[in-house]
């Protein structure tokens, strides 16, 4: 519960174009622009949840019709201590 509240607070703290979603399988997702550093964003979200770092599971285009690494990106990660 506290982790969810902290992650939600992180969403508010991040810019409007970046969102964090809590998934049901102990992972989280960040939707961000292609020019943003996904590892830094994930580490920041995990830091707000009192975890040490983020482990990136995958990064994919939100719109699969676009070339890889362009447009909006969805990065899935797990927080680790």
Domain layout of the chain by residue ranges = 2-80
* Secondary structure of residue 23 in the 3-state scheme: coil
pLDDT of res. 1: 60
3-state DSSP percent of the chain in helix, strand and coil, to 5: 30, 35, 35
Per-residue pLDDT for the chain (81 aa), expressed as one digit of tens each? 677 766 666 655 554 467 787 777 889 999 999 888 999 999 999 998 888 999 999 999 999 999 988 899 999 999 998
- Let me know: does 55 contact 45? Beta carbons within 8 Å: no
Query: What is the spatial distance between Cα 1 and Cα 38, in angstroms, rounded to a whole number?
Result: 25
């Amino acid at each position: 519960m506290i982790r969810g509240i902290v992650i939600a607070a992180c969403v508010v703290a991040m810019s409007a174009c970046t969102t964090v979603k809590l998934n049901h399988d102990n992972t989280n997702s960040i939707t961000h622009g292609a020019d943003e550093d996904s590892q830094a964003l994930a580490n920041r979200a995990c830091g707000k949840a009192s975890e040490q770092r983020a482990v990136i599971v995958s990064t994919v285009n939100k719109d699969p019709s676009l070339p890889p690494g362009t447009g909006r990106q969805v990065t899935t990660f797990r927080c680790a201590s």
